[in-house]
Amino acid sequence: MIDKRFLVHGFLPAIAAACSFAVMAGLVKMASAEVPLPVLVFLRNLAGLAIILPVVLPRGRQYLKTKKLKMHMFRSLISLCAITSFFYALGHIGLAEASLLNATSPLFIGILATLILGESLNRALVLSLLTGFIGVTLILKPGTELFTLAALAGLASGFFIACAKIIIRYMASTEPVLRTVFYFSLLTTIYSAVPLLWLWQTPSPRTFIIMVLAGMTATLGQTFLTYAYTHNRAVKVAPFTYVTVLIAALIGWWIWKEIPDAGSSIGALLVITACLVITLEGKPLIAWRKQPPPAARD
């Protein structure tokens, strides 16, 4: 029998988030052929800020007061690194590969939680991490011409996302979701504006519209994902993260005729399997399930 509550408050918003993130990635890849990376990153952040401001400002200055401004600044810098790395990968490798490498954060969270939180490594977690990184190796293909800086950038985006998630978890006890998203949008916009003093290139109206849509779909994805996590246990929502990879693969095939090779396909299965095992059963994440949900993907 279908669980109607989960269907409405979990499945549908999680699927909507996955679709939104995949469309955002496709839009960024489309725009990357026309304008420099710093401009893409800035326009994405600016669009996100424009969307969140009307939601947060009516709550007043008191709502925006925080004792963790330095943590917000550090988290936003890490998230900016994640966005920049991901966008660079989108512009140079396949949409599916970039999206999958971006989604490897559970592998890095498993390692970081052990190093930072002092969690012990059990056998299941070790096997999952080894499986995941074997899959990453199949996707990156070291020693071949397909082993590129862009592929490493895609993997780096997954690492930076893992770091950002750990910081968000640390702040979650005192920082509500909207405040966290506000400071993320504000600070990443400010940070990404600095390089434009030297690298600005005015986008065409078409590219500008594409990036506005990218910012909108990214914010929609964050909203849907936050809603799903708020109303359900993380263990039920997390698997839908990888629906984004599937939809991205379909978009890449439809628009750019991208077809992953056998090695990448096998690697993708290994990475997704390992990440799901770590997310659903991994010891470092089990302790986090009792804490507030993440603000959303960056």
For the chain, the domains span 4-290
What is the reported pLDDT for 294? 45
Q: What is the 3 state secondary structure string of 203-235?
A: CCHHHHHHHHHHHHHHHHHHHHHHHHHHHCCHH
Residue 297 has pLDDT above 50, yes or no: no
Q: What is the pLDDT of residue 108?
A: 86
Asked whether 92 and 256 are in contact (CB, 8 A), the reply is no
First-to-last alpha carbon distance for the chain, in angstroms, is 35
Q: Which of 120-124, 209-213, 220-224, 232-236 has the lowest mean pLDDT?
A: 232-236
Residue 145 pLDDT > 80: no
Confidence of residue 19 (pLDDT cuts 50, 70, 90): very high
Give per-residue pLDDT as tens, 175-214: 887 888 889 889 999 999 999 988 888 889 999 899 889 9
The predicted model scores a pTM of 0.83
Which of the two residues, 126 and 22, has the higher pLDDT score? 22
Nearest 10 degrees: CA dihedral of 241, 247, 249, 255? Answer: -150
Give the number of C-alpha atoms closer than 13 A to the C-alpha of residue 180, restricted to the C-beta side.
Answer: 26
Task: Report whether 283 contacts 128 (CB < 8 A).
Answer: no
Q: How confident is the model at residue 292 (pLDDT cuts 50, 70, 90)?
A: very low
Which carries the bigger pLDDT value, residue 205 or residue 297?
Answer: 205
Task: Give residue-wise pLDDT tens across range 154-166.
Answer: 999 999 988 887 8
Give residue-wise pLDDT tens across range 259-288.
888 888 898 888 888 877 777 664 444 344
pLDDT for residue 250 is more than 80: yes
Distance, CA of 220 to CA of 163 (rounded, Å): 23
pLDDT, position 290: 44
Query: Which of 34-43, 91-100, 126-135 has the weakest average pLDDT?
Result: 126-135
The residue type of 184 is: F
pLDDT of amino acid 118: 62
Is 226's pLDDT higher than 90?
no
Over residues 138-160, mean pLDDT: 83
- On the question of pLDDT at 221 being above 90, the answer is no
Find the angle CA(132)-CA(233)-CA(114) to the nearest 5 degrees.
40
